């Protein structure tokens, strides 16, 4: 009986790339999703202050004040109630009817967003398309 004394050849190691590709695809999908949502977390809204220059004066302008609790005042006169219909009537009276009269919305920083939207809706209903928002000038100390 003859024995085989030849050296066994070592087998070449084989690398399977399929699991590696699967892991890379999962990491790629994770990175794509996380960068998409990071745009929303970077958004910081601070509406009540601005560094813009003073707007030019207009002969006729209607100033609508919005209090923190949602009450309205048109040119310093309080509006009875908080409905859009009453505000539309008051804006129409103050502006003298539909036209090019600018509406300046001076809302409290803590006023509900819905209250400001109601002013915008009332101005549209009254035929007053020119709206601007008043803001106080920010000071260097406020940003610290």
Q: What is the domain-level CATH number for residue 131?
A: 3.30.420.270
- Domain assignment of residue 66, yes or no: yes
- Domain assignment of residue 122, yes or no: yes
Count of domains forming the chain: 1
| pLDDT more than 90, % of the chain | 14
| Tokens read off for 1 | 């009986």
- Domain assignment of residue 128, yes or no: yes
The pLDDT assigned to 54 comes to: 57
Cα(49)–Cα(134) distance, rounded to whole angstroms?
9
Q: What residue numbers bound the domain in which 124 lies?
A: 59-135
- Domain assignment of residue 118, yes or no: yes
pLDDT in tens, 11-25: 777 888 899 999 999
- Domain assignment of residue 46, yes or no: no
Least confident of 6-10, 25-29, 92-96, 100-104: 6-10
- Domain assignment of residue 8, yes or no: no
Q: 3-class DSSP state for residue 18?
A: helix
- Domain assignment of residue 120, yes or no: yes
What mean pLDDT is predicted for residues 71-80? 86
Closest CA to 66 of 133, 12, 144, 13: 133
Q: Which residue has the higher pLDDT, 37 or 116?
A: 116
- Domain assignment of residue 29, yes or no: no
């Amino acid at each position: 009986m003859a024995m085989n004394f030849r050296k066994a050849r070592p087998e070449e190691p084989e690398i399977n790339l399929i699991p590696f590709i699967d892991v890379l695809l999962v990491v790629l999908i994770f990175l794509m999703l996380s960068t998409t949502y990071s745009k929303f977390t970077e958004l910081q809204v601070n509406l009540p202050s601005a560094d813009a220059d003073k707007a030019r004066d207009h002969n006729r302008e209607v100033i609508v004040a919005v209090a923190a609790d949602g009450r309205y005042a048109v040119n310093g006169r309080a509006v009875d109630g908080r409905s859009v219909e009453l505000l539309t009537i008051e804006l129409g009276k103050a502006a003298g009817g539909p036209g090019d009269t600018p509406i300046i919305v001076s809302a409290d920083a803590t006023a509900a967003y819905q209250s400001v939207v109601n002013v915008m809706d009332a101005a549209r209903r009254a035929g007053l398309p020119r709206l601007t928002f008043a803001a106080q000038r920010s000071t260097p100390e406020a940003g610290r």
